[in-house]
Amino acid sequence: MVPQRVSLITIGAIKLPVLRAFYKQLGWKETDISSDNYAVFKTAGVLLSLFPIEELAKEAQIEISKSIDYFRAGVTLAINVDKREEVDLTIETIRNAGAKILREPSDAFWGGRIAYFSDPENNLWEIAWNPTAIFDERGAMISF
């Protein structure tokens, strides 16, 4: 049986120092092993790591395209907040850090509030408030 958990998400970075600086500007805390060659940020549920995309491809034994797709492989990362108004406040902090805002905060058809941005390397992120979300004591979402 495969353990039902996601413990680490790694973004293959094209310019790791630039991407690292962006996440640090959001106020995210790194682990002690972080450097301009590999960075790991602590989050409520999983660790988010940044690793040079060429090294990641070599490790996975795959070929990578030299073009950067705007929406990489259909993956969206999400930051869920506790209150409706936090979507707007969070997106302003992200805007001030230099992210491209793709969708301004707005009410979602399912009753929550959402916004979208891309980081400096076009990784797609959602900021969401879900009125039915349940978080554990660490702030990790465990249900909605």
pLDDT in tens, 53-92: 999 989 989 888 766 555 566 789 999 999 999 999 999 9
Give me the CATH code for the 1-61 domain, please. 3.10.180.10
Query: Where in the chain is CATH 3.10.180.10?
Result: 1-61, 70-134
pLDDT value, residue 75: 84
Regarding the domain with residue range 70-134, which homologous superfamily does it belong to in the CATH classification? 2,3-Dihydroxybiphenyl 1,2-Dioxygenase, domain 1 (3.10.180.10)
pTM above 0.95, yes or no: no
Other C-beta atoms lying within 10 Å of the C-beta of residue 31: 12
Q: Which residues 6+ apart lie within 8 Å of 139 measured at CB?
A: 44, 45
Query: Which residue ranges of the chain lie beneath pLDDT 50?
Result: none
